[in-house]
């Protein structure tokens, strides 16, 4: 089945540790996105990538980093510089152009203790 996978579903980390969230897609989509969702809030864009080896900051990129070495993969690292990292993180992908709808993964709930 084609789709987006995110792992793990739940993640716990101690304060001050970096943590990397995985996102893989087999939809052959060029563009991939990372969003953060807090309770009662909409989705806020962290980073996005429209092509391999290229990515741009979204609205709340501070304290996060990404890489896009392969078309299928777009991992997100939450660094110790992120002041409030506890949140639900969603990865999405889309075929570029024509304002196509984004397909979402199941999300990773990160809790920093």
**C-beta of 28 vs 100, nearer to other proteins:** 100
Of 15-34, which residues contact other proteins (CB under 8 A)?
31, 33
Strand segments, DSSP code E, in 58-105 are 64-66, 76-78, 87-94, 103-104
Our finding on whether 77 is near other proteins (CB under 8 A) is: no
* Phi, psi (rounded to 5 degrees) for 100: -70, 150
Q: Is 107 in the site for other proteins (CB under 8 A)?
A: yes
**CB 83 → other proteins: shortest distance, Å?**
21
- The angle subtended at Cα 92 by Cα 88 and Cα 95, nearest 5°, is 170
CB of 29 to other proteins, least distance (A): 12
């Amino acid at each position: 089945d084609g789709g987006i996978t995110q792992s793990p579903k739940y993640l716990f980390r101690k304060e001050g540790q970096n943590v990397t969230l995985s996102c893989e897609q087999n939809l052959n989509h060029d563009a991939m996105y990372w969003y953060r969702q807090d309770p009662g809030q909409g989705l806020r864009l962290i980073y996005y990538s429209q092509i391999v080896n290229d990515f741009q900051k979204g609205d709340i990129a501070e304290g996060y980093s990404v890489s896009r070495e392969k078309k299928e993969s777009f991992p997100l690292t939450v660094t110790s510089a992120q002041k409030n990292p506890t949140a639900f993180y969603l990865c999405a992908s889309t075929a570029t152009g024509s304002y196509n709808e984004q397909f979402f993964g199941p999300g990773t709930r990160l809790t920093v203790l």
